[in-house]
Structure 1
Amino acid sequence: MTDAADREQAAPGWLMLVYRVPREPTRLRASVWRRLKSIGAVYLQNSAAVLPESSSHERSLRSLRKDIGEMGGTAQLMRCDVLAGAAEVTAIYNAARDEEYEEIIDRCRGFRAEIDKETTAEKFTYAELEENDEDLAKLRGWFDKVRLRDSLGADRRAAAEQALQGCAAVLDVFADQVYLAEDGR
């Protein structure tokens, strides 16, 4: 077997939700889109979204299918294998995770800039430290959600982990400065 054939054969199974919701009100479409995005689904075409096969993904999609029916729409949930183009479907899924990781990396840059600003202004207070601690906890929580969706090994995961480690390191330095400032009062 060729390497390409091996990769096609090793590709994951997929769950596909194909749906229709009424055109109006538009909030119904937006609601479905948000729910699919929140669980990490990617669109292959309009109203055709996929997720790697797992019991948790199946539960989420079954629940969404039920809700679409209650909205006056229709939906079919299918288990499927990609017969040709599996690498492209996987690439679409991983690109969505990479976008999420890139957003985290960008927010980490903002976090570090905020610490730099507070350091320059010498805002070494417990209130600032607590606020920054909460911000880092939110970033970690967001990363954990993306990591759980990243079942196919997106490329930007390691960079996001490094960015979070960098945030923790600058927060530790800032904390030391807060402790010194508070002890000196």
Structure 2
Amino acid sequence: MVAVSTAGGADSLRVHVWRKLRGLGAVYVQQSVCLLPDRPPVAETVRALADKVRAGGGTARCLHLTLTDPIERGELIGAFRASVTAEYGEVLERLPAFFAEIETETAKGHTTFAEVEESEADLARFEAWVAKIDARDYFAAPIGAEVRAELDRARKAMKAFEAAALAAETAPHTDTGRGAVRLRAVEGRGPRP
């Protein structure tokens, strides 16, 4: 259990504490009091956070609890899972737009390096987002497997889109009959000679 008060500290400290605890997947039981699993990386981060709070003029208490009631333990695990399930659900809501974008650009013949880079950046954001959720999925929420499968499908779609762009931009030019590589001009925003 972590109890934190940043009264007397800077507003930025309060925001930092909130972000750090939420980033760890804390389940709040009341204002300024939350629970986290007692795992070495989590405990280390919480100790460092408590030190920062104290140095910033606030108070922090870190207490180790043992839940002996199986019902209470199950409810708490359910609360942790519900939190990450909501986050995973948001990923599942947004991934279809990624697939639709690739399908639309492919259908329009916009299989270009620029489009690949844009989609690659979108995929990287999804991967980073899911990695953060995975890190706080302490009790293996069932939806996590579905999200990871969809993310894998997104990686495969990205590889296929990249291959299509490469093929489109390096296809042999049919006019010369010599197998010359055809490069398609991509309009840029930079200065022109």
Query: Which structure has more helix as a fraction of its residues?
Result: 1
Structure 1 residues 135-144 or 34-43, which shifts more? 135-144
Shift of 1:23: 7.3
**CA-atom RMSD, angstroms?**
1.9
Shift of 1:134: 2.9
Q: What is aligned with 1:81? A: 66
How many residues align? The count is 170
What TM-score do the two structures reach when normalised by structure 1? 0.82
User: What is the correspondence of 1:97-116 to structure 2 with a 5 Å cutoff?
Assistant: 97-116=84-103
Structure 1 residues 161-170 or 58-67, which shifts more? 161-170
Contact 2:28 2:35 in 1 (8 A): yes
- Which secondary structure does the structure 2 equivalent of 1:144 belong to? helix
Q: What is aligned with 1:57? A: 42
Q: What is aligned with 2:160? A: 173
Q: What is aligned with 1:22? A: 7
Deviations 1:150-173 (A, max 9, x none): 221112101101210221222122
- Which secondary structure does the structure 1 equivalent of 2:63 belong to? strand
- Counterpart code for 1:47: S
Instruction: Mark the CA change 1:73 to 1:146 in structure 2 (over 3 Å): closer, same or farther.
Output: same
Deviations 1:54-108 (A, max 9, x none): 1111111011111111222111001111233111111111111112212222332
Query: Which structure has more strand as a fraction of its residues?
Result: 1
Percent identity of equivalent pairs: 31
Unaligned runs of 5+ in 1: 1-15
Contact 2:99 2:154 in 1 (8 A): yes
Contact 1:28 1:71 in 2 (8 A): yes
Contact 1:22 1:28 in 2 (8 A): no
Distance in 2, Cα, partners of 1:92 & 1:150: 11
Deviations 1:17-70 (A, max 9, x none): 011121775443322111111122221221111111111111110111111112
Contact 2:10 2:56 in 1 (8 A): no
- Counterpart code for 2:166: Y
- Which secondary structure does the structure 1 equivalent of 2:64 belong to? strand
Using CA pairs under 8 Å that are at least 6 residues apart, name the structure with larger relative contact order, 1 or 2. 1
Q: What is aligned with 2:51? A: 66
Larger radius of gyration: 2
User: What is the correspondence of 1:101-180 to structure 2 with a 5 Å cutoff?
Assistant: 101-180=88-167
Contact 2:84 2:136 in 1 (8 A): yes
